[in-house]
Structure 1
Amino acid sequence: MNKVYVFILLLIGFVFSASASVKEEADKAYQENDFKTAIEKYEAILNAGQESADVYYNLGNSYYKNKNIAKAVLNYERALLLSPGDNDVRYNLEMAKSKTIDKVTPKSEVFIVTWINSIRNIMSESAWSVFAISCFILFLLGTSTYIFGKKIVLKKIGFSLAVIFLFFTVVGNLFADAQKDRLVNRTGAIVMQPSVTVKSTPNESGTDLFVLHEGTKVYINDNTMKGWKEVSLEDGNRGWVPTESIEVI
């Protein structure tokens, strides 16, 4: 049994070592402006299951330099899912979006919603989990001070800290859950074809509603029809597009 464990550990180590080597080759190809090779190497890393924000970001940069805007947007979006607080990724994503044809104006939302979302996107799901656990430990310390403190001042401080850190524990857990849901249930997608006509019904005979172009982000609302998906834009427009015309983030 011990030999099996050793073999598994060696295999895992080999996989990570190989991935690190491939990444070094990909980074070198990118620095030498060999973007086609860089793309192949970064894609190989992802196909091997070594997903990371850094690889998606570098792949997005490679596609951008190779003038494949749709793929660049797709990979920047994937990097942002894993690392929502990364300003470099967000900046490059906006740069890539500025090269797309469709300019979608998001529907206005209540200020408090925008504010909460901006705070949530400061950190990833794992970072919010660590934050919540840390606050829970501090909550326990505050509670202990309140219960076992011998002075009134200490009890008041302990109670106040317990309430504050309990609040932050709840917030941290809620944000971690929201970020995890975004990762697991990915509804965002990018139009990958040069242009696609959005239909009123999930078939070619449906009424033409509007046309979308490559690089535009949509949200999948209905995934039940074979060969078709109902999508919506940030401005509220919606309709049906062929499944092969988009790629899920």
Structure 2
Amino acid sequence: MKKHIISILLLLSSIYLFADESLFHKANKEYEKGNYETAIDIYKELIKMDNISSELYYNLGNSYYKIENWAESIWCYEKSLKIKYDNKTIENLNIAKSKIKNRINPLPKTFYKKWWDKVINLLHIKKWQIITILSLWLTVSFNIVTNLKRKKSKKYLFIVLYSICIILIIISQQSYNNFIKKEAIIFSSSLPVNSEPTKNINNKKLFNLSLGTKVEVIKTKKDWIYIKLNDGRKGWIKENDVKRLN
């Protein structure tokens, strides 16, 4: 009886996966035909079914870009990058960002910071974690074997392996910090950023943000969020004026 139940469950899961794959190909076909609105509806249906992938968000971003919905396309590309870092997605994201009026220029980075960011973005967080765990296992195993055989000549190799592990742990931690960073995309045109989370007379408008701008969410207070821009400026905006990335 149990075997029959397992067989039925496997069959149903196979049918479900096949249906998802079929829908994804259908959406891609609609995109190729230029039916971008139809493709968007199908991609969104797949997201509701929890069939989420970097490719799905990437294609959805392309569809929104074609109908000139810059904010949605930017949001989708950013979601895709949260799942998998990809140069093509970065390229399309930058093209979509170029459509934003009054873009925020980030603070200049040092050569070291640029190089470090490139290293962090070489792999997704999960891959960095796997490599780090394997390196730790290799280093510990090597140390145990070396101690058992009393081979002091291998001491320097152990130091090298240990140093690599430390570097990988730092990279994995930074990758994790980037992954869990709370971010959002502005979905309101010319959004005022305020000094306080209130509408009273003491509240001052600090500056405006354009549609499609990415912000970091520092904290929340009722229906307000305190945000930080990549140029260092901070302020309060309404929660319903953004779409969160995580």
Quickly name the TM-score band, shorter chain normalised. 0.7 to 0.9
Deviation at 1:221, TM superposition (A): 1.1
CA distance in 1, matches of 2:172, 2:20: 28
Structure 2 equivalent of residue 215 of structure 1: 212
Say whether the 8 Å CA contact 1:139–1:161 is kept in structure 2: no
TM-score (normalised: structure 1): 0.86
Q: 2:230 aligns with which of 210, 228, 234?
A: 234
Deviation at 1:130, TM superposition (A): 2.4
Structure 2 equivalent of residue 42 of structure 1: 43
Say whether the 8 Å CA contact 2:197–2:224 is kept in structure 1: yes
Deviation at 1:121, TM superposition (A): 1.0
Provide the alpha-carbon RMSD of the alignment: 2.3
Deviation at 1:186, TM superposition (A): 4.1
Deviation at 1:117, TM superposition (A): 2.4
Q: Provide Cα deviations, 1:55-107, integer angstroms capped at 9, x if missing partner.
A: 111111111111101011111111111112x1111111111111101321222
1:89 aligns with 2:84: no
Structure 2 equivalent of residue 169 of structure 1: 165
Q: 2:191 aligns with which of 193, 196, 221?
A: 196
Q: Provide Cα deviations, 1:37-64, integer angstroms capped at 9, x if missing partner.
A: 1111111111211221111111111111
1:18/1:208 Cα in 2 relative to 1: closer, same or farther (>3 Å)?
same
Q: Map of 1:1-249 to 2, 5 A cutoff?
A: 1-84=2-85, 86-140=86-140, 142-143=142-143, 146-147=146-147, 156=153, 158-183=154-179, 185-205=180-200, 206-223=203-220, 225-249=221-245
Count of paired positions = 242
CA distance in 1, matches of 2:47, 2:119: 29
Q: Give unpaired runs (5+ residues) of structure 2.
A: none
Q: Give unpaired runs (5+ residues) of structure 1.
A: none
Say whether the 8 Å CA contact 2:103–2:210 is kept in structure 1: no
Which amino acid is the alignment partner of residue 202 of structure 1? P
Deviation at 1:119, TM superposition (A): 0.7
Which amino acid is the alignment partner of residue 94 of structure 2? E
